[in-house]
Structure 1
Amino acid sequence: MPTPRPLAKTVLYTLLAAALTMPALAAEPAWVTKSNDNARVLLNVMAKYSPEGASNLGVDGYDEQITDMSRDQFEATNRDLRAAIAELQKRMRSETDSKVKQDLQILIDKAQDNIKTNALQRKYFMPFDDLTGMIFGVVRATLDPRIPQARQQSLLVRLDKYAGLAKGYRPVTELAHERLQERLKANKNLLGPYKGEIEQALNDGPTLLKGMRELLAKSELKGWESRFDTLEKQLTAYNARLKTEMLPRARADHRLPPEVYADNLKNFGVDIGPQEMISKALTSFAEIRNQMQITANLIAKERGFKDADYRVVMNELKKQQIPLDAVMPLYAERLAAIESAVREQHIVTLPARKAVIRLASMAENAAQPAPHMSPPRLIGNTGEYGEFVLTTGMPPDASGKRLVFDDFTHQSGTWSITAHEARPGHELQFAKMIETGVSTARAVFAFNSVNVEGWALYAEAEMQPYEPLDGQLFALQARAMRAARAFLDPMVNLGEITPDGVKTFLMRDVGLSEGMATQEMQRYTFRAPGQATSYFYGYQRLMETRQAAEVALRGKFDRQKFNDFVLAQGLVPPKLLRKAVMEEFVPAQGK
Structure 2
Amino acid sequence: MSKSNRKVRILVSGLTLALLSMSAIAAEPAWVTKSNENAKLLLNVLAKYSPESASSLGVDGYDELITDMSRDQFEATAKDTRAVIAELEKRLKAESDPKIRQDLEILISTAQDQLRSAAINRKYMLPFTDVTRLMFGVVRQMLDPRIPKERQKSLLVRLEKYAGLAKGHRPLTELANERLQERLKANKNLLGPYKGQVEQAINDAPALLKGMKDLLAKSELKGWETSFAALEKQLTAYNEQLRTQVLPRARADHRLPPEVYADNLRQFGVDITPRELIAKALTSFAEIRNQMNITAGLIARERKLPSADYRAVMRELKKQQIPVDQVMPLYAERLTQIEAAVREQGIVSLPSRKAVIRLASAAENAQQPAPHMSPPRLIGNTGEYGEFVLTTGMPPDASGKSLVFDDFTHQAGSWTLTAHEARPGHELQFAKMIETGVSTARGVFAFNSVNVEGWALYAEAEMQPYEPLDGQLFALQARLQRAARAFLDPMVNLGEISPEGVKSFLMDEVGLSEGMATQEMQRYTFRAPGQATSYFYGYQRLMETRQAAEVALRQKFNRQAFNDFVLAQGLVPPALLRKAVMQEFVPAQR
Q: TM-score, normalised by structure 1?
A: 0.98
Cα separation, 1, equivalents of 2:219 and 2:401: 31
1:101 corresponding residue in structure 2: 101
2:520 corresponding residue in structure 1: 520
Q: Does 1:371 align with 2:368?
A: no
1:264 corresponding residue in structure 2: 264
> Offset of 1:15 from its aligned partner?
9.3
**Counterpart of 1:18 in 2: which secondary structure?**
coil
Cα separation, 2, equivalents of 1:497 and 1:73: 37
Q: Does 1:530 align with 2:530?
A: yes
> Offset of 1:398 from its aligned partner?
2.8
> Offset of 1:245 from its aligned partner?
1.0
Deviations 1:185-205 (A, max 9, x none): 111111101111111111100
Number of residue-to-residue matches in the alignment: 587
> Over aligned residue pairs, what C-alpha RMSD do you find?
0.9
User: Match of 2:570, as an amino acid?
Assistant: G
Unaligned runs of 5+ in 1: none
Q: Does 1:18 align with 2:16?
A: yes
> Offset of 1:8 from its aligned partner?
3.2
Cα separation, 1, equivalents of 2:98 and 2:573: 17
User: Within 5 Å, which residues of 2 pair with 1:33-432?
Assistant: 33-432=33-432
1:9 corresponding residue in structure 2: 6
User: Match of 1:18, as an amino acid?
Assistant: T
Cα separation, 2, equivalents of 1:5 and 1:497: 32
Cα separation, 2, equivalents of 1:453 and 1:553: 26
User: Match of 2:307, as an amino acid?
Assistant: D
CA contact (8 A) 2:8 2:447 kept: no
**Counterpart of 1:357 in 2: which secondary structure?**
strand
Cα separation, 2, equivalents of 1:125 and 1:373: 30
Deviations 1:43-98 (A, max 9, x none): 00001111011110000000000010000000000001001111111111211111
Percent of residue pairs bearing the same amino acid type = 79
User: Match of 1:5, as an amino acid?
Assistant: S
CA contact (8 A) 1:454 1:539 kept: yes
CA contact (8 A) 2:7 2:110 kept: no
Cα separation, 2, equivalents of 1:444 and 1:399: 40
1:573 corresponding residue in structure 2: 573
Cα separation, 1, equivalents of 2:110 and 2:168: 34
> Offset of 1:430 from its aligned partner?
0.3
Deviations 1:95-132 (A, max 9, x none): 11111111111111111111111101110011101000
**Counterpart of 1:424 in 2: which secondary structure?**
coil
User: Match of 1:311, as an amino acid?
Assistant: R
Q: Does 1:449 align with 2:446?
A: no
Cα separation, 2, equivalents of 1:13 and 1:323: 32
CA contact (8 A) 1:15 1:444 kept: no
> Offset of 1:18 from its aligned partner?
3.1
> Offset of 1:10 from its aligned partner?
3.8
Unaligned runs of 5+ in 2: none
> Offset of 1:14 from its aligned partner?
4.5
**Counterpart of 2:531 in 1: which secondary structure?**
coil
Cα separation, 1, equivalents of 2:317 and 2:543: 30
Cα separation, 1, equivalents of 2:552 and 2:10: 39
CA contact (8 A) 1:11 1:114 kept: no
Cα separation, 1, equivalents of 2:96 and 2:2: 36
Deviations 1:407-435 (A, max 9, x none): 00000000000000000000000000000
**Is the deviation greater in 224-233 or in 477-486?**
224-233
Cα separation, 2, equivalents of 1:437 and 1:209: 37
CA contact (8 A) 2:335 2:423 kept: yes
Cα separation, 1, equivalents of 2:265 and 2:471: 32
Q: Does 1:544 align with 2:544?
A: yes
Cα separation, 1, equivalents of 2:38 and 2:210: 42
**Counterpart of 1:296 in 2: which secondary structure?**
helix
**Counterpart of 1:389 in 2: which secondary structure?**
strand
**Counterpart of 2:404 in 1: which secondary structure?**
coil
User: Match of 2:138, as an amino acid?
Assistant: V
Cα separation, 1, equivalents of 2:10 and 2:125: 19
Cα separation, 2, equivalents of 1:431 and 1:232: 37
Cα separation, 2, equivalents of 1:444 and 1:495: 34
